[in-house]
Every structure is written in C-alpha cells, then in structure tokens.
C-alpha cells in the first residue's frame, strides 16, 4: 500500500506536466526526422557535399564506353576507352586517365547499385533485358518469398495531395440520367439469347478450367497449350469473377473463394508486372466480386487491397509520381523514374480504378495518385506537343531531362535546385526536373539526335481497355459530377481537336448508297502530326496533320464513349457522333464483303461529303499508274467535321417513346462543317454555362481553402492566360496517308489488288477476327442510353454470325477460337481472356432486363468490371 500511495502522489504532482512532456518528446522526434529527411533530399539532388570517400563525379571508363549514344561494358579493364565523336563529349565527359580514377564507382555491381539507388533514382529508356544494365537493375531478390512480403514504404508519393471528400457522395437533383427512362421494347430480358450466351460462356470456361487450375492467364483452345501472356495471376479466372455473379455460377464462385481463402494471396512466377493489368483487370475484378456479393465475400477485398499496395509502387517515382508501365516488383532496386519511352495509355490507364479504390477503402493514397495523373495530363495538354489536349501514343513522362555538362562536370543551368543527380546506363547524370510530359526525342536532352519524331495520336490502346477520355468521363460520373479538376472542360477541349482532324467518310461504290439506307455513318482515324515551315515575319508555324485512314475494330468503342458523354453533359452533337460511329462499325463488314468486323481496314477518303458514293475503279487505277494518288496536298483546316449543337438534349423522362425530335435529327443530320465564327461563340457560351454549373452542381459547398477548388481555379486561369499569350500562330494543314498503297501491287487489267481478297476501294485490310468486345460494348451503351431496340437487333444478328464463324471442328470436338482469316475461315489457336471478361459480358447484359446494372448505379471500367456508384441526392 505504501508504494501504491507514493505512486498516486507522484502521479498527482506530475499529471499537469504529462501533456508538456509528450509534446516535447514529439517535437524532439520530428525535429530529427525532418533533419534526416532534409539530408536525404539533399543527397538526392546533390545540393550538399556527400560524406564519402569516393569521387561521385567521376565515371569509371573501364566499365562503360559510349558508342552510338549507348553505354556498353568494357571487358578489358586496361584497354583505353574509345570515344565516339557523335555524342557531345562535353555532355558525357568520360575520364580517360585510369590512374586518376581509382575511386570510381562501379554501378554495374549489384550491391553498389542497390546502395546508390537509395539516393539516386535510375533513369531508363526501357526495361529491355538484352541490355546488361537493365538486367542488373531488375534482378529479383532472394529475400522476397511471396506477395505478402512485398509491402514497402512509399518513398515519393504524396498521399494527401488529393483526398477523398464526403462531398463526392452527394449528387445534385438535376444530375442527368445516363440510362434512358423509356425503352421501345420495354427493356425486358430476352431469355432465349441469355441462355445461348450463358451456354457459350460455360462451354469455353469449362475448357479453360478443365485444363488449367487457374494459375495460367490463357489457354490455346485447339492445342491446349497454356500461355502466360499477362502477369501470371490467371487473368481469365480472376477476370471472370463478376461473370460468375451475373450468370449465377455458384459452384465456380465457391471453388474460387475457397481457393483464395486458403492461399490468402495471388502468386506469379513473373518479375515484371504490367501496371495496367494489375489495376484494370486484377484489382478491379476483385473489387467487383466484393461489391456484387453485397460486401459479404471479404476475401475479395482483402486480396484487392493486398494487390493494390503492390501495384501502387509503380507510381512511387520521383518528381511527377507517374507510373512505370512494368514494375520489377521482386527487385529491391525500386527508386526509379518512369521510362523515357512510355505509352500514353500506360500513364493514364488507371485513373478510374485508383479513385474507386479510395472510395471503397477511404485511403487517400489511391485518389491522390489517380488525380495527380490527371493533373499532369492537364498540365501537359497545352503548348508542349504540336497538338493540344491529345497526346502522342509514346511520350517521355520521366520528368528527367538529361542536360549537358561542361568540362568541369557542372550542369549548364544555374538553378541547381531544379537538378537531380541520377543514374542512367550505369553513369551518373544530371537530371533537370520537369513537371510535364515531353517528347521522346526532346531536343534539350544531351542524347537527342535533333530529328523531330512524328507524333502518332490515337485514342485507344491495342488491348482496347484503355481510353483516357472515356476514363475521364467515368471518373466524373463516379464522383457524381463534383468536377474540381475540370474533367468536363478537358473532354470538351479534346473533342474540338477530334472533330477537326479525326473523323472521315470513305469514298464507296454507288451500290452502297442503296444498301446503307438512311443510316449515316462516319469512321474514326488516328493521325500523325509534325511541324512544318515557320514564317518568322508573320509569326506563323505550319502544323502538318496526316490522317492514317486506318480504322481499327477497337475504335468501335468510341461510339459508346460519345453516347455516354451526350447524356453526361447533355450534348446533342455527341449523340449524333456516337450513333454514326456505331453505324460505321455495323456497315464495315458489308463494305469488306464479310460478315464480321475485321481487325482493321483503310479506305480512300471522301472529300466531297455530298458525293461519297462515287468510287471509280478506272479513276483509281489511272491515279496509281500516273502517281497522282500519292500527291501530298495539305489543306488548311479551320472547321470541324460535325456541326456544334446549340442546344442541350431534350428531357425524355416523360416521353412515351424515344424522343421523336432526336430520332429525326439522327436520320436527317448531314455532315456539315462548322462556321468558325459561330463555333467560337458556341465555345464561349459553353464555357460560361460550365462556370455557372460549377457553382451549383458540386454537391456540397467546399471550404474556402479547399485544395481541389483552388487547383481548379488556377487551372482555369492558366488556360485563359495561355489563350491570351500567343507564342506563335499555328496554321493546321491536313492531308491523308498513302502508306497503305505505296508499292502495293495491283492488276490494272482485272482492276483489283494482286492478292484479290478485298475490293479495290479498300486500301488495306487485316482479316483476322480476334473475338474483340468493342463493338458489342458500344451496342450495349447505345441500347441503354437511347432506349432504341435496333441495337439489340444488331447484337442478335452479330452474335449469330459470330457463333457460326468461330466454332471450329478439332479432333471431332467443336471448340471456339479466333479466326486467322475471315475470307478463308482459317482458325487461329487463340481464346483471349477478354472473351470472358468483356465480349460475352456485354452480349449478356444487352439482352438482360435493363433494371440490372443500370448505368446510373454502376460503372464499367475499361476491362468490363463493374463498380457500384454510391450517391446521396442533395436537395
């Protein structure tokens, strides 16, 4: 009792000082922590001397030699380095006197590289393992035994740059309905079609599951060969989780849940993980399974979180927080810039999925990362590349510009705070930090050859699961229209460019005028862009745009995208475009004399939109014979392809059937060019309307110091300032590509191409059929958005033709596979994972009751996985 009393007495005497002691301890701790962080920051940027015995400014020339702008390893330590005269020697400054280089660092030694990488990030062009340095840098560590041991502290990501706000769950009363309120056929389920599609899924999935336990990504259906062409997590199985729920496949679902519960993680033998697949396919499918189980099957969420924590490491890069397209997740060397040559689709592929992850877990690291990507997209959208708002397919997102150095190894710029010491090809280099994307051959890089790289621009990747404009729309919808970052404005600005340069109609024979009926249509085309002549007197720069005229089947997704935007932003023009793009996809097989949509096709462009059925074999043969068809006649472009609508979509919520006025517009709408003066006025009106909307549709009023609102205001001011500051007046001139017919053999007497597979009015055609989902995806959106049952009819007709074509007889068994050649019906031993995750899913959903998975309550990501959209209506 004595000791107890003494303890009570002491506590009473010091209890008033306890908060002070705790506060002092915390201040003491964070003081030293901040000092440590500051010193590490200085080490990364080389702003203070390093306490080390080595001369870090020297380069070991016994190990590296520059040859043709590439560093190669020297096998003879006593050999004299051979310096190539092409690179700027001042920028490389390799030492040639070995006697003075005794303290040089060997960055080809794994342990040395691992140590130096703590402070100096690695810059790489690619992860090509044929390169010695790349191979060393991605070497897996023996200490990593399984997925669960990979949880590492994030080094660069700012987890609170953007936060998940409560206001994102609120939706205004006047927020538009994406799904139609009325359906011509009442929107009931079509049981016969649903049974047929479920049977197809069951048949092909049984083939996969009977051969594979789920560890392999895909199966070749004819030879039964297993292939890991993804991340090796079994993406066919994992990607089918939501289909198990949709089709009520309880046995398959129970087996998978039991397997995941025992393993508690996914496994793979691969070292490089594709970042897009991690989020778009694996994490998204697990999220979908968790939400479709009414949040009961928690194993899906547990593993989704586990995988997301690994995948987010790809974004843990210096300067800009942009991702590596492939993450060497088993390597301990993790401090890396994004690759200098990266697809724009690898950069922008996961915005929606990251925001969704935060909405589910309330962990800010995901939304902060996803919205940071969009901010970088926005910051790089003007005055960086030749075309604003739309990006070249391959860019440099590293944020590291390799700068030249003088003979004293000093960087040429004076602002040393903006430079970071880095490792490139086994050498120390000075990296000028840039906060935007830039060209892969930027003239300011010391290794640039000075040649301008053609900027190839497309909107959708080869896999068809990344379309950053569609992702922006879906993210806007997921956030219930709380548009702090300006998603709506970005889409509208991008559309202006698309409307000018990326639509066309082909020139066809007269018989298609009758066959096409009243279905007006349009094709999408990628473009290439480069600089032309500079008129210094008038301060005018020619920007030369070339339409490829190559329409890929992946472009069929764009019809659904524009229809989605038409409802989201209540814009009639987008609806007309969406319907005409879908019409183009539906008519393409007829033009190619096929029954299914081929992989790609290119046509001659129709320049007179009032006379697009005037193709003449004789005229084309003559133009190829005399070479006139290859003339590059660049014409100045000022107008858009489609007329900009002046009014919003009419309200259809109380109509007895689909709005008659809109149907009339669809049937009679000519492809009229825009009067530029009027277009400018429309854009001003649109901008004012947007600014008004921003004040009323944000859900809940935000605080005065709200980060996102402030950022949005700054972005709007930046746009206005950039529009006023004209550095040079760009004059856009456009022509069409002749690549597809250049050197192509033809028979003038028979008036046909020598190979004879497709008609003369088609310039190229890839006749493969790979079971792609983009057309049925757009048909699904078109039916749900317009309520017109003609899209169900097209889907039913297409499904019947698909089944008739892809069933192959093999060893007396009927198997389903892709087709190598639609003209000869030669089979292709391939059954892609998206056949399960997207193709059959959208076929099933278009014939399901429209109350199932309404577009107002659910969002489908790029790989077809279903996210719940949570919202509270604000009065």
pLDDT digits (tens, 9 = 90+) for 511-548: 898 765 556 999 999 999 999 999 988 899 999 999 99
Nearest alpha carbon to residue 518 among 581, 593, 580: 580
pLDDT at 262: 93
Nearest alpha carbon to residue 840 among 250, 187, 279, 194: 194
Q: What is the DSSP letter of 669?
A: -
Nearest alpha carbon to residue 848 among 203, 187, 186: 187
The answer to whether residue 267 scores a pLDDT higher than 70 is: yes
Higher pLDDT, 648 or 165: 165
Whether the CB-CB separation of 776 and 842 falls below 8 Å is answered with yes
Q: How far apart are CA 824 and CA 805, in angstroms?
A: 11
Q: What is the DSSP letter of 420?
A: E
| Residue 690 pLDDT level (bands cut at 50, 70, 90) | very low
| Residue 152 pLDDT level (bands cut at 50, 70, 90) | low
Q: How far apart are CA 549 and CA 714, in angstroms?
A: 38
pLDDT at 38: 56
| Helix (H) or strand (E) segment spanning residue 424 | strand 419-424
CA distances from 155 to 36, 494, 856 (A): 14, 34, 38
Whether the CB-CB separation of 522 and 577 falls below 8 Å is answered with yes
CA distances from 570 to 271, 298, 646, 647 (A): 46, 38, 11, 9
Q: How far apart are CA 871 and CA 480, in angstroms?
A: 7
Do strands 527-535 and 523-524 pair parallel, antiparallel, or not at all (unpaired)? Answer: unpaired
DSSP SS3 for 33: helix
Q: What is the largest CA-CA distance in the chain?
A: 118
Q: What is the pLDDT of residues 614-645, one digit of tens each?
A: 999 999 999 998 889 988 889 999 899 998 75
The answer to whether residue 671 scores a pLDDT higher than 60 is: no
Residue 830 token pair: 């391939």
The answer to whether residue 747 scores a pLDDT higher than 90 is: no
Q: How far apart are CA 44 and CA 28, in angstroms?
A: 25
pLDDT at 31: 67
3-state secondary structure 277-342: HHHHHHHHHHHHHHHHCCCCCHHHHHHHHHHHHHHHHHHCCCCCCCCCCEEECCCCCCCECCCCCE
Q: How far apart are CA 869 and CA 858, in angstroms?
A: 5
Strands (E), 159-235: 170-172, 218-219, 226-227
Whether the CB-CB separation of 783 and 831 falls below 8 Å is answered with no
Residue 222 token pair: 């004819």
Q: What is the mean pLDDT of residues 707-711?
A: 50
- Return the half-sphere exposure (C-beta side, CA atoms, 13 A cut-off) of residue 391: 31
For the beta carbon of residue 383, count every other beta carbon within 10 angstroms. 12
How far is CA 537 from its chain centroid?
A: 40
| Helix (H) or strand (E) segment spanning residue 859 | strand 858-860
Q: How far apart are CA 614 and CA 622, in angstroms?
A: 15
Mean pLDDT across the chain, nearest whole number? 82
Do strands 70-73 and 813-816 pair parallel, antiparallel, or not at all (unpaired)? Answer: unpaired
Q: What is the mean pLDDT of residues 274-293?
A: 97
Q: What is the mean pLDDT of residues 742-747?
A: 88
Q: How far apart are CA 64 and CA 54, in angstroms?
A: 18
Q: What is the pLDDT of residues 857-875, one digit of tens each?
A: 999 999 999 999 988 888 6
Q: How far apart are CA 309 and CA 286, in angstroms?
A: 14
Higher pLDDT, 196 or 15: 196
Residues 6+ apart with CB under 8 A from 518: 667
pLDDT at 371: 96
Q: How far apart are CA 139 and CA 59, in angstroms?
A: 23
Nearest alpha carbon to residue 863 among 201, 200, 198, 240: 240
CA distances from 717 to 338, 674, 692 (A): 29, 27, 16
To the nearest 10°, report the CA torsion of 686, 687, 690, 694: -170
Tokens 């002549």 correspond to 533
Whether the CB-CB separation of 300 and 286 falls below 8 Å is answered with yes
| Helix (H) or strand (E) segment spanning residue 785 | helix 774-786
| Residue 2 pLDDT level (bands cut at 50, 70, 90) | low
The answer to whether residue 669 scores a pLDDT higher than 60 is: no
Higher pLDDT, 406 or 739: 739
Whether the CB-CB separation of 241 and 300 falls below 8 Å is answered with yes
Which strands, in side-by-side order, build the sheet including 427-433? Answer: 122-123, 419-424, 427-433, 400-402
Tokens 């201040």 correspond to 27
Q: How far apart are CA 528 and CA 392, in angstroms?
A: 8
Residue 850 token pair: 């429209």
Nearest alpha carbon to residue 502 among 568, 445, 584: 584
Tokens 């009927």 correspond to 814
Q: How far apart are CA 457 and CA 545, in angstroms?
A: 10
The answer to whether residue 58 scores a pLDDT higher than 50 is: no
Q: What is the DSSP letter of 838?
A: I
CA distances from 391 to 439, 441, 454, 497, 728 (A): 10, 15, 12, 11, 20
pLDDT at 661: 41
Whether the CB-CB separation of 350 and 277 falls below 8 Å is answered with no
Q: What is the pLDDT of residues 299-337, one digit of tens each?
A: 999 999 999 999 999 999 999 999 999 999 889 999 999
pLDDT at 698: 36
Q: How far apart are CA 645 and CA 643, in angstroms?
A: 6
For the beta carbon of residue 666, count every other beta carbon within 10 angstroms. 20
Tokens 């389903």 correspond to 816
Q: What is the mean pLDDT of residues 793-815?
A: 87
For the beta carbon of residue 749, count every other beta carbon within 10 angstroms. 7
Q: What is the DSSP letter of 177?
A: P
Whether the CB-CB separation of 217 and 227 falls below 8 Å is answered with yes
| Residue 63 pLDDT level (bands cut at 50, 70, 90) | very low
Q: What is the pLDDT of residues 471-495, one digit of tens each?
A: 999 999 999 999 889 999 999 999 9
- Cβ contacts of 381-385, under 8 Å, gap ≥ 24: 381/490, 381/493, 382/719, 382/722, 383/722, 383/727, 384/436, 384/437, 384/438, 385/437, 385/439, 385/455, 385/529
The answer to whether residue 4 scores a pLDDT higher than 70 is: no
To the nearest 10°, report the CA torsion of 741, 745, 748, 750: -110
């Amino acid at each position: 009792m004595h000791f107890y009393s003494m303890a009570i007495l002491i506590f009473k005497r010091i209890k008033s000082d306890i908060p002070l002691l705790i506060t002092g301890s915390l201040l003491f701790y964070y003081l030293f922590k901040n000092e440590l962080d500051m010193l590490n920051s200085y080490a990364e940027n080389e702003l203070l001397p390093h306490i080390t015995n080595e001369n870090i400014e020297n380069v070991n020339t016994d190990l590296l030699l520059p040859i043709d702008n590439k560093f190669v390893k020297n096998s003879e330590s006593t050999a004299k380095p051979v310096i190539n005269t092409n690179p700027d020697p001042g920028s490389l400054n390799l030492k040639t006197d070995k006697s003075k280089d005794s303290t040089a660092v060997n960055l080809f030694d794994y342990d040395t590289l691992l140590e130096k990488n703590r402070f100096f990030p690695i810059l790489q062009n690619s992860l090509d393992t044929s390169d010695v340095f790349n191979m060393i840098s991605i070497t897996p560590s023996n200490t990593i035994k399984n997925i669960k041991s990979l949880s590492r502290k994030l080094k660069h990501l700012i987890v609170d740059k953007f936060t998940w706000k409560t206001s994102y769950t609120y939706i205004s009363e006047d927020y538009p309905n994406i799904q139609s309120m009325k359906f011509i056929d009442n929107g009931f389920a079509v049981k016969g079609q649903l049974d047929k599609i479920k049977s197809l899924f069951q048949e092909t999935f049984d083939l996969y599951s009977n051969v594979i336990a789920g560890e392999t990504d895909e199966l070749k259906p004819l030879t039964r060969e297993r292939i890991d062409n993804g991340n090796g997590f079994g993406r066919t199985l994992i990607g089918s989780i939501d289909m198990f729920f949709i089709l009520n496949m309880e046995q398959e679902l129970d087996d998978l849940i039991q397997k995941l519960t025992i393993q508690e993680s996914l496994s793979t033998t691969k070292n490089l993980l594709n970042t897009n697949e991690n989020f778009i396919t694996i994490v998204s499918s697990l999220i979908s399974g968790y939400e479709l189980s009414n949040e009961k099957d928690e194993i899906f969420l547990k593993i989704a979180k586990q995988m997301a924590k690994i995948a987010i490491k790809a974004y843990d890069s210096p300067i800009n927080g942009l991702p590596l397209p492939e993450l060497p997740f088993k390597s301990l060397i993790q401090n890396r810039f994004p690759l200098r040559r990266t697809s724009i689709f690898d950069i922008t592929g996961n915005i929606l999925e990251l925001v969704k992850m935060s909405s589910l877990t309330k962990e800010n690291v995901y939304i902060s990362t996803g919205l940071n990507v969009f901010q970088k997209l926005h910051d790089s959208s003007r005055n960086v590349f030749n075309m604003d708002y739309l990006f070249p397919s391959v860019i440099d997102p590293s944020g590291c510009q390799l700068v030249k150095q003088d003979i004293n190894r000093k960087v040429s710029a004076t602002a040393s705070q903006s430079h970071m010491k880095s490792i490139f090809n086994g050498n120390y280099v000075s990296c000028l930090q840039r906060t935007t994307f830039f060209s892969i051959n930027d003239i300011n890089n010391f290794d640039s050859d000075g040649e301008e790289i053609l900027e190839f621009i497309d909107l959708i990747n080869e896999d068809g699961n990344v379309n950053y404009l569609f992702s922006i729309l879906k993210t806007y919808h997921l956030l219930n229209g709380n548009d702090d970052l300006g998603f709506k404005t970005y889409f509208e600005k991008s559309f202006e460019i698309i409307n000018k340069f990326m639509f066309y109609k082909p020139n066809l024979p007269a018989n298609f005028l009758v066959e096409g009926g009243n279905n007006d249509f349009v094709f999408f085309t990628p473009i290439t862009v480069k600089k032309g002549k500079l008129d210094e007197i008038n301060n005018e720069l020619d920007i030369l745009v070339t339409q490829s005229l190559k329409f890929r089947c992946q472009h069929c997704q764009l019809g659904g995208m524009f229809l989605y935007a038409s409802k989201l932003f209540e814009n009639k023009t987008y609806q007309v475009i969406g319907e005409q793009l879908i019409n183009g996809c539906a008519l393409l097989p007829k033009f190619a004399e096929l029954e299914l949509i081929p992989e790609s096709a290119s046509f001659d462009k129709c320049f007179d939109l009032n006379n697009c059925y005037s193709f003449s074999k004789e005229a084309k043969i003559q133009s190829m014979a005399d070479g006139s068809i290859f003339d590059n006649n660049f014409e100045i472009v000022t107008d858009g392809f489609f007329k900009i609508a002046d009014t919003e979509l009419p309200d259809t919520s109380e109509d007895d059937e689909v709005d008659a006025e809109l149907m009339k517009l669809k049937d009679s709408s000519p492809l009229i060019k825009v009067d530029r003066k009027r277009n400018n006025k429309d854009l001003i009106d649109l901008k004012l309307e947007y600014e008004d909307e921003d004040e009323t549709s944000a859900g809940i009023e935000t605080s005065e110091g709200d980060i996102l609102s402030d950022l949005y205001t700054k972005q709007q001011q930046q746009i206005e300032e950039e529009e006023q500051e004209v550095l040079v007046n760009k004059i856009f001139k456009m022509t069409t590509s002749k690549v597809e017919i250049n050197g192509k053999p033809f028979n003038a007497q028979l008036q046909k191409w020598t190979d004879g597979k497709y008609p003369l009015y088609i310039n190229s055609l890839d006749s493969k059929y790979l079971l792609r989902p983009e057309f049925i995806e757009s048909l699904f959106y078109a039916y749900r958005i317009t309520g017109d049952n003609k899209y169900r009819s097209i889907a039913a007709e297409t499904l019947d033709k698909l089944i008739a074509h892809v069933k192959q007889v093999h060893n007396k068994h009927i198997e389903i596979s892709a087709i190598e050649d639609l003209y000869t019906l030669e089979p292709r031993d391939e059954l892609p994972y998206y056949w399960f995750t997207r193709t059959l899913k959208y076929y099933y959903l278009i014939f399901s009751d429209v109350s199932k998975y309404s577009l107002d309550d659910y969002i489908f990501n790029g790989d077809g996985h279903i996210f719940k959209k949570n919202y509270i209506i604000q009065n």
